[in-house]
Amino acid sequence: MNRVRTAVLISGRGSNMMALVEAAKDPAYPAEIVCVVSNRADAAGLDFALANGIATKLIEHKAYPSREAFEAALDAYLRSMKIGIIACAGFMRILTAGFIVGWEGRMINIHPSLLPAYKGLHTHERALADGAKTHGCTVHHVTAELDAGPIILQAEVPVLPGDTPETLSARVLKEEHRIYPEALAILARSLQPNTSI
Ligand code: GAR
């Protein structure tokens, strides 16, 4: 089986990246995590990737004079690694259309809300402020419009009395760790050359 070479982009804790790495330890999983890229040197997830024998790459946006220059460096690295899928996992940089167009259909993101509700940041706080009864997470394709690409999978959780942003985000995060590996597998299978006769 040709496993699809996958890069995971992170900016911080990296718990979703860890879920993808754990899933990909199964040789039957259709994607292989070949590198973890961070735009921040202090991203805790980098240590986990190193400890798991995965190539890590720091491409600090601050080191580049423009968004385009940062994205050119990111693009060059991913192409040098012969990447088939980019999985954004808590990657907190907005990518421009110029970068995205070269990866469309092969770049996915996990977002902590039931899109199209609560695009952008502070999703748990906003759901609680609205008195939402349910909340959740979404894995979607990345397109030029922020958090608006085609949805691959969603998971819903209840909002419970007394929830805080922390308790709600913990409930959602558990579902993120479940659906992100499933969604990556769905995309990887769809991109694999059909080898059956
Ligand atoms: C996750 O909850 C992810 O859905 C969210 O950041 C967190 C990263 O956690 N992503 C976004 O808000 C993207 N706009 P992690 O680093 O532990 O995976």
Question: 7 has which bridge partners?
Answer: 35, 86
Q: Is residue 121 part of a domain?
A: yes
Domain CATH number, residue 63: 3.40.50.170
Residue 154 burial by Cβ neighbours in a 10 Å radius (0-12, 13-18, 19+): middle
For residue 115, being part of any structural domain is answered with: yes
Tell me the three state secondary structure of residue 64. Answer: coil
Work out which ligand 1 atom sits closest to the CA atom of 111. 4
Residue ID of nearest Cα to ligand 1 atom 3: 90
Residue 180 lies in a domain: yes
Per the annotation, the verdict on 122 as an active-site residue is no
Q: Convert 15-26 to b/e letters by CB count within 10 Å (16 or more is b).
A: bbbbbbbebbee
Q: Which domain holds residue 106?
A: 4-191
**pLDDT truncated to tens, each residue of the chain (197 aa)?**
799 999 999 999 999 999 999 999 999 999 999 999 999 999 999 999 999 999 999 999 999 999 999 999 999 999 999 999 999 999 999 999 999 999 999 999 999 999 999 999 999 999 999 999 999 999 999 999 999 999 999 999 999 999 999 999 999 999 999 999 999 999 999 998 654 45
Q: Whose CA is nearest to atom 2 of ligand 1?
A: 112
Point out the ligand 1 atom lying closest to the alpha carbon of residue 11: 16
- Quick check: is 196 in a domain? no
Query: According to the model, what pLDDT value does residue 196 have?
Result: 46
What is the count of structural domains for the chain? 1
> Ligand 1 centroid vs 133 CA: distance in angstroms?
21
Q: Which protein residues are within 6 Å of ligand 1, measured from CB? A: 10, 12-16, 89-90, 110-112, 173, 176
| Predicted TM-score of the model (pTM) | 0.97
Residue 139 is predicted with a pLDDT of 99
